[in-house]
Amino acid sequence: EEAQKWAESFTALMASKQGSALYHEFLQLEFSNENLEFWQAVEDYKNSKPKDMAAKAQQIYKDFLTVNQSSKKQQVNLDAETRSITLANIQCNNPDQHAFDRAQRRIQHMMERDSYQRFLKSEAY
């Protein structure tokens, strides 16, 4: 019954602890889990205390939005304009919970059109 709700929307899938874990496992098998990890990091960031936001914003940017050989994370695929706007948002003195909104929307849209649809047709689901 809960699994049927996951097919209703990406949001329903992400609202389920079991559903999001299963989707993450599916993406790992496809070697494309960086988008979901970015999306989840931004969700965590949005729920952070204001005093922790600047450091978390910098870490998310370093992990997912820069080409960094030392990072264990893979860079997400965003257009230059979105990347530039996001960088400007986090470099201000007080980044707020909306600093990654545009980037997160783009990544979510990409997942909804692509990997989420494959997940719903997969054996895992």
pLDDT for 16 equals 95
Quick check: 43 pLDDT over 90?
A: yes
Please tell me the distance from the alpha carbon of residue 95 to that of residue 97, in angstroms, as a whole number. Answer: 7
Contact 62, 73 (CB under 8 A): no
Tell me whether residue 110 is in a domain: yes
Q: ∠54-87-111 over CA atoms, to 5°? A: 100
Q: What is the DSSP letter of 96?
A: -
Share of the chain above pLDDT 90, in %: 80
Six-digit token string for 44: 């965590």
Count structural domains, the chain. 1
CA 9 to chain centre: 16
Mean pLDDT of 82-105: 92
Task: Identify whether 108 is part of a domain.
Answer: yes
pTM of the model: 0.89
* One-letter amino acid for residue 106 of the chain: R
pLDDT reading at 116 higher than 70: yes
CATH number at residue 65: 1.10.167.10
